[in-house]
Amino acid sequence: MELNNSSLPEMYSKGLLEEFNKNLSPHWTGNVFETLFTGAAKLLGAAKTQDRPVAFVVQKLNKEFAIAAIIQYFEGKDKDKVGNWSLVWTFNESDIPENAERILLTDPRSHTYFISYAGEKFGIRFKSDENLITTLTYVPVCIKKWLDENAKEKEEVTLELKDVFVARVAVENGEKVFAIEATGESTFVAKGDASIEK
């Protein structure tokens, strides 16, 4: 299901208004979602190091884990071959390596990546850090809520924002299993495989 053809834009807009008193038209939903994914990619692209994984972490406003993006370098199988970067998004905090450096959305130092992308690409301006944190934090919350409410037995349900992300839910042994991956430009922005030098 394409995001803009789903009920998610209305869900996102309504939730922001009712839960946080933030008034944002459903029309802007895709732009805000893209800002989270691409801004995170730019942040991770700047923060990555071959020495350890780096995780960008979004927590709900009650500090519960919501989602993370993890960038990690893997050496080539042969010593003379270049390694590669892996960029993974996850709804499971346990997927974050123990030795990963964690960068939270609530860290003001991360905000410039989202502010600049939203402004340059969509003309969006966040009135405050609190507005930025609330609107972006609510993105993964709504994605998972939509998947949870639309999960079907014996059928994988997908939610996609073209060239930004694909999220999935399947029911396995009576349990809902959620997955999400970035697509398009943001994956190249973060990894920059061509720039790896040994």
User: Cα torsion at 184, 187, 192, 194 (round to 10°)?
Assistant: -50
List for the chain the helix, strand, coil content (%; round to 5): 45, 25, 30
- Distance between CA atoms of residues 93 and 64, nearest Å: 10
pLDDT in tens, the chain (198 residues): 999 999 999 999 999 999 999 999 999 999 999 999 999 999 999 999 999 999 999 999 999 999 999 999 998 777 667 789 999 999 999 999 999 999 999 999 999 999 999 999 999 999 999 999 999 999 999 999 999 999 999 899 999 999 999 999 999 999 999 999 999 988 888 887 544 443
Domain boundaries, the chain: 3-191
Other beta carbons within 10 angstroms of residue 157's beta carbon come to: 18
